[in-house]
């Protein structure tokens, strides 16, 4: 009742799913079932419903939110009572509904022995440490008592942010690990080798990559250089430095790829598989594995913050296609599962994370609009508040994502981690392909790059032609010159 006494809110009723409480009174206010809420909302012009079930499982919260989304009110959440008692939050510090609650995916408690296996008392390096996944990996890693953590990042600002955050976390929690912030590119093998050798790195999490599908489609050579060669250089440096374990952060877009980004990630996997065959023959070789998963909530380029901004500005909310679906996972869960999967790797393993049910993006947009207390504007509801507009699939974009190849998938000891059997390339063939691809990139021969990627055993089946912006511009210039020559003749 702290909200009631604050003066800023007028509490009218309690909504509860417990039928034994309905039609009773608490502090002079009625307890009602959710299906009986509309008359009261209309009578008192209620504008907000506060969700105060922080201990409920996400699956239960989703059921509640699905019902609340039908009401013409804004839905906000009350802070956790432990945060209120500890002084970390105030009762009236209301927040938007957490997007993970809309997914209804209950997290699985991590297996501590797997979290610690490649981290505790070890020197750990994270490439792409300033990115969405890389930074969360760093947060999780420092909690597992590493000897030190090497933050390897190309972006100066990204490195500054994660270094500052981890040092603050270290201070608050009394952690003792050394934090080593290093600027560097994964395309510079010598920098990678000296870093790993100097600090005697034992575990590498390779998160550095270009992951934005349309941008890689527009910048093909840079995508190839960073995702394929950057991974291979990092892996070779790890072998030379005697690294024990190497984990590649991969993607569902590497499965039957329809775009350059997905193909480069599958090519990166092929490189690690080839190197793993070599290392597995040694008594103390580097253990390579890769972990695939789908979209993470809150990552750079995620649709959620874009939708929220569009709703706040009055719309429209833009979705590429009415039927487009995606798999989603929270960043903390993804990072925990990556660490645990990496600990299970024996050499050349391709791990696939259980992403749960795919989510229809249009439904997600509708839920966000409705939970903001607004109505979706459509042909059937022309007087609604926010319209959803469909902009069309972007270059290289899939309508549906796939996580598995074939039926050769096996469950591991962890209920949300599986292994997939994949096609391999011998190391000699892979290095020959890299040599040919390097020459094509150096020559800016986009037609040959496309041919090499198509011929590689990645299953590349592009939905669009060559999308590189520099190549497209030059082609346009050539066509204009040819046209002028024809006209002049």
Positions annotated as catalytic residues are 253
- Phi/psi of residue 175, each to 5°? -80, 155
* Upstream peptide bond of 316 is cis (omega within 30 degrees of 0): yes
- Beta carbons of 226 and 209 less than 8 angstroms apart: yes
Q: Which of 255, 239, 361 is nearest to 288 (CA)?
A: 239
DSSP bridge partners of 149: 124, 179
The residue whose two tokens read 């590649």 is 248
The C-alpha atoms of residue 223 and residue 229 are separated, in whole angstroms, by: 9
The C-alpha atoms of residue 335 and residue 128 are separated, in whole angstroms, by: 13
Query: Directed axis angle between helix 132-142 and helix 156-173, to 10°?
Result: 20
Would residue 470 be called left, alpha or beta, if left means φ above 0 and alpha means ψ between -120 and 50 degrees? alpha
DSSP bridge partners of 295: 328
Strand residues in 128-167 grouped as ranges (E): 148-153
Q: Which of 396, 416, 386, 363 is nearest to 466 (CA)?
A: 396
Q: Which helix (H) or strand (E) holds 239?
A: helix 230-240
The residue whose two tokens read 């949300």 is 416
């Amino acid at each position: 009742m702290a909200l009631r006494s604050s003066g800023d809110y007028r509490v009218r009723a309690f909504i509860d799913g417990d039928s034994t409480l309905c039609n009773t009174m608490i502090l002079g206010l009625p307890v009602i079932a959710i299906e009986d809420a509309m008359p009261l909302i209309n009578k008192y012009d209620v504008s907000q419903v506060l969700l105060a079930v922080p201990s409920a499982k996400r699956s239960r919260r989703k059921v509640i939110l699905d019902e609340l989304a039908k009401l013409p009110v804004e839905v906000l959440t009350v802070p956790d009572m432990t945060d209120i008692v500890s002084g970390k939050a105030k009762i009236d510090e209301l927040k938007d509904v957490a997007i993970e609650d809309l997914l209804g995916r209950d997290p699985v408690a991590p297996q501590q022995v797997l979290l610690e296996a490649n981290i505790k008392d070890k020197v750990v390096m994270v490439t792409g440490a300033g990115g969405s996944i890389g930074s969360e990996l760093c947060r999780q890693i420092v909690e597992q008592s590493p000897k030190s953590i090497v933050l390897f990042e190309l972006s100066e600002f990204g490195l500054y942010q994660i270094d500052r955050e981890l040092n603050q976390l270290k201070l608050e929690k009394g952690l003792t690990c050394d934090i080593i912030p290093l600027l560097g590119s994964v395309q510079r093998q010598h920098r990678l080798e000296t870093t790993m050798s100097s600090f005697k790195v034992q575990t590498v999490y390779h998160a550095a990559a270009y992951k934005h599908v349309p941008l890689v489609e527009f910048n093909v050579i840079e995508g190839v250089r960073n995702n394929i060669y950057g991974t291979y250089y990092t892996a070779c440096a790890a072998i030379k430095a005697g690294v024990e374990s190497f984990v590649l952060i991969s993607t569902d877009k590497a499965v039957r790829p329809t775009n350059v980004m997905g193909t480069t990630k599958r090519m990166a996997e092929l490189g690690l598989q080839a190197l793993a065959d070599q290392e597995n023959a040694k008594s103390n070789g580097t253990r390579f594995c890769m972990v695939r998963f789908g979209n993470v909530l809150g990552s750079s380029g995620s649709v959620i913050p874009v939708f929220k901004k569009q709703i706040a500005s009055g719309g429209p909310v833009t979705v590429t296609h009415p039927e487009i679906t995606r798999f989603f996972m929270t960043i903390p869960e993804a990072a925990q599962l990556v660490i645990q999967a990496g600990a299970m790797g024996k050499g050349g393993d391709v791990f696939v994370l259980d992403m749960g049910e795919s989510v229809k993006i249009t439904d997600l947009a509708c839920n966000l609009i409705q939970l903001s207390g607004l109505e979706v504007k459509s042909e059937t509801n022309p007087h609604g508040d926010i319209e959803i507009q469909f902009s069309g699939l972007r270059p290289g974009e899939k309508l549906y994502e796939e996580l598995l190849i074939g039926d050769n998938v096996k469950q591991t000891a962890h209920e949300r981690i599986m292994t997939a059997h994949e096609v391999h390339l011998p190391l000699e063939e892979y290095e020959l392909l890299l040599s040919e691809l390097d020459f094509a990139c150096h020559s800016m021969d986009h037609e040959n790059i496309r041919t090499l990627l198509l011929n590689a055993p990645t299953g590349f089946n592009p939905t669009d032609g060559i999308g590189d912006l520099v190549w497209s511009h030059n082609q346009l210039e050539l066509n204009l010159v040819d046209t002028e020559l024809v006209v002049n003749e």
